[in-house]
């Protein structure tokens, strides 16, 4: 049986190259740890939709990767 891993991905819906570089490293590390598990990703730069919320609530683990997630 596999776990569902939910990933808040800062490289989706952005033009920031730094987000792509960071998320590439995050994904490599997570896939190394969770080799046989199922990954679901959603954008952090867009509204979290109904389907993404359902995946988030049903996932065994959730991770946030990237930078600039906090604003005033």
Is residue 53 one of the residues assigned to a domain?
A: yes
The answer to whether 51 touches 16, Cβ cutoff 8 Å, is: no
Is residue 13 one of the residues assigned to a domain?
A: yes
Is residue 31 one of the residues assigned to a domain?
A: yes
Is residue 70 one of the residues assigned to a domain?
A: no
Is residue 71 one of the residues assigned to a domain?
A: no
Ramachandran sector of residue 66 (left: φ over 0; alpha: ψ -120 to 50; beta: rest): left
Condensed to tens digits (0 to 9), the pLDDT of residues 4-54 reads 999 999 999 888 898 899 999 999 999 999 999 999 999 988 888 999 999
pTM over 0.95: no
Is residue 9 one of the residues assigned to a domain?
A: yes
Condensed to tens digits (0 to 9), the pLDDT of residues 40-66 reads 999 988 888 999 999 999 999 999 987
Q: Which two tokens stand for residue 1?
A: 């049986």
Whole domain around residue 35: which residue ranges? 4-64
């Amino acid at each position: 049986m596999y776990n569902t891993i939910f990933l808040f991905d800062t490289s989706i819906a952005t033009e920031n190259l730094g987000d792509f570089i960071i998320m590439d490293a995050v994904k490599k590390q997570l896939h190394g740890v969770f080799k046989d598990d199922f990954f679901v990703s959603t954008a952090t730069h867009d509204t979290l939709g109904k389907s993404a919320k359902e995946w988030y609530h049903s996932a065994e683990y959730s991770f946030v990767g990237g930078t600039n997630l906090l604003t005033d």
